[in-house]
Chain A
Amino acid sequence: MDRKLLSGDEAVALAALHAGVVLGTGYPGTPSTEILEAFSELGGHAQWAPNEKVALEVGLGAAFGSARTLVTMKHVGLNVAADPLFTAAYTGVSGALVVVSADDPGMSSSQNEQDNRRYAIAAGLPMIEPSDSQEAYDFFFSAIEMSERWHLPVLFRMTTRVCHSKSIVTARESGAPGREAAPAPHFEHDIAGRVMIPAYARPAHRRLRAKLSEIAAWGESAAADKLNRVEAGAPHGAAVEAGTTLGIITSGVSYMHAREAAPAAKILKIGLVHPLPLERARAFAAGVERCLVVEEGDPILADALRAAGIAVESKSEMYRFGELDVQRVRRIVARDETPEAPPARGKPPELCPACPYHTVYATIRKLDCIAAGDIGCYTLGVLPPYQAMDTCVAMGASIGVGLGLRHVLPLDQARRVVSIIGDSTFVHSGISGLVEMAYNRPATGHVVIVLDNGTTAMTGQQEHAGTGRLLDHNPTNKLSIEAVAAAVGIESVTVIDPYADPDGFEQLLRDRLASTELSVIVARRPCILAAADIRKWEQQAAAIRATSADQAAFDLPVEER
């Protein structure tokens, strides 16, 4: 048997390949980024969208065309994609659409630790949650099967520890809905099914709830044993509490911690976290003396079970915050609510020593700017020595937040407001902020600094529309940030290398802050970590262009050569 040591992300990519997924799309975001990168490396068709909303819409279109489709994003990305998601639950799909939501409990690299299991409840979509890489691989097939059987998008919830931990995967050899079984993409009209005007959406809502009822019944049946299963406690495990049989209801990576923390406990492990197998849980809880729910994040399983009249014990509120681990689950089992030791504080990350943004932050600090910041490596400008960022909320928010401040602050403060946004973030959701800036212009004007380092640096140097290269680094059309800015009505657009010309950058920023014009400064210099790769890809692209120019010349009629 072929045993591979794979991360959860890599396992999903391998499963997508084996399941015949014809298109994978998404936007980079820790901890989901590696799924599409691995899918591409395995030979799958993977692409980066400008943001998660567009990715989901592309995936939905592909699934309307009967294709098997994968869309990936981090948890906060699903907020961006929520608009199409909720109505895609009504339209359903003709092929398969699996939407990976990679949550980040503990916020290893995120601005919040929202629990996206709530999206499954809110949108009314089935959600599957694996516990390790083998399950990420196996459950992905279940997600494809469910999506095709019920013609619904299926949410596939992973968390940082499932995405990034490596464990052994044995890939299936046959019996899966493999490439052979994948339907050939094709289009069939279904106007009432896919055009969500109220008259068609009202019955669609009823159809959705009927499908969910069917899935709930299926989730209770033996057919769903792969997803939802009961495990007896280890016979040799020490009793956790003498004289008490402990039952634990759990899902995701919490199952792994629970299995280790309470080896004697019976466990109901839930892989289909929405809709929940409530009757299985009821029978399970009735068969143990103490029934404890072990879940990371919000008490969603516990609340749902209690609402169904099942007497379960939930963790104390203190365990809502951060990741769980074996030690914390031991404490939950022991009902230990004493304060926890603070985690060891190592060295925080920082801007790379040769990062081109040092000059930018030094200048912003020197000029005492009010800096509306954004999401990316450059958020590290908030840390000492610069502390040159005043807000950071969501992708693209720097521009809107900066404009709001400009509109209301007294003049002496309003004139010092700048918005700082990276190149990939600008493409993601900065453009509509610029449209707002040109449309509802503040009396003092505004200054946006686009930190263009030519890559999505934070998540590990992914391409985006502004780099002019595809996910696999092959050349494509290149979005021009300065042309977009000019096109929406920004009056002053300047490109400068802040690293090569720090004095020029300072003078430019002083000048723009003093003006009441709408200004965009594109501070352009390649990320120090990506620069060598970028040069290599540019050379490859030039070689391809040269070859195809030769080819084009050859293709011309002889007299035109």
Chain B
Amino acid sequence: MSATYPKGAIPSAAGRSVVNVVLAGLGGQGVIKASDILADAALRAGLDVKKSEIHGMSQRGGSVTSDVRFGRAPADRVGSPMVPAGEADFLVVLAPSEVEVNRATMRPGGVLIAPELVPEGELANKRSLNVALLGALSTYLELPREAFMEALAAALPEKLRGVNEQAFELGRKLAAEHVTIS
């Protein structure tokens, strides 16, 4: 079951040891690009970080998930590169069909960031949904905004930077208004 809560009711990830994020979607949606940007932002913030996914078949339109884990070493060094089932603090989903199949990856009280957060038509380029949802995710994380901006700049060609920075800000704004938790 999921319900919409005002933001204040969401338990913060601050203070937890290692933050576990699972990103999910379909091949071609930019799941892996989004997880690369998130992991790079964590790296730039000086954290220990690991990310893992299976991308053998990712270009063929099938389900894709990517795990990103980060914490402050040495106390919160990341072990396994994979988020254990039922321990994701955040589940970021790019395709409506992928919400239910991945729900069990979340811990009780984990935060679901679903594609419906960004209404159709609000994005200048619908291919930047991945970055918009990262923007939403960023409102829960203690990662500096500059780390995300640097990671975005490093991951995307110059001509796509503007539209993706807008998407990131849109995601931040929408997350501030409402969010869905499990």
Which residue numbers of A lie inside 8 Å of B, CB to CB?
A: 3, 5, 30-31, 108-110, 132, 160-161, 164-168, 253, 256-257, 259-260, 325-327, 341, 344-352, 377, 380, 460, 529
Contacts and interface: CB of A to CB of B under 8 A. Distances in A.
Nearest to A255: B79
A467 to B, nearest CB: 18
B16 interface: no
B79 A256 contact: yes
A377 B24 CA distance: 22
Nearest to A30: B56
7 contacts: A160-B54, A165-B51, A168-B48, A260-B84, A347-B26, A349-B27, A377-B60
Given A344-B104, A346-B65, 4 more contacts: A110-B56, A325-B84, A346-B62, A347-B97
Given A168-B49, A326-B79, A5 B62 contact: no
B43 interface: yes
Nearest to B101: A344
A326 B80 contact: yes
B172 interface: no
B79 A352 contact: no
Interface in B59-82: 59-63, 65, 78-82
Nearest to A340: B85
A348 B53 CA distance: 16
Nearest to B78: A167
A90 to B, nearest CB: 35
A347 B61 contact: yes
B89 interface: no
**A interface SS class:** loop
A380 B84 contact: no
A529 B78 CA distance: 36
Contacts of B63: 346-348
B62 A348 contact: yes
A348 B64 CA distance: 10
B102 interface: yes
B55 interface: yes
Contact of A350 (B51, B62, B104): B62
Q: Which has the most chain A C-beta neighbours within 10 Å: B24, B26, B56?
A: B56
Contacts of B65: 346
Contacts of B97: 347
Given A168-B48, A253-B81, A347-B97, A529 B40 contact: no
Q: Which has the most chain A C-beta neighbours within 10 Å: B26, B52, B97?
A: B52
Given A167-B49, A349-B27, A132 B81 contact: yes
Contacts of A165: 50-52, 81-82
B111 interface: no
Nearest to A347: B63
Given A5-B39, A260-B80, A161 B52 contact: yes
B61 A352 contact: yes
A151 to B, nearest CB: 35
Contacts of B52: 161, 164-166
Contacts of B54: 108-109, 160, 164
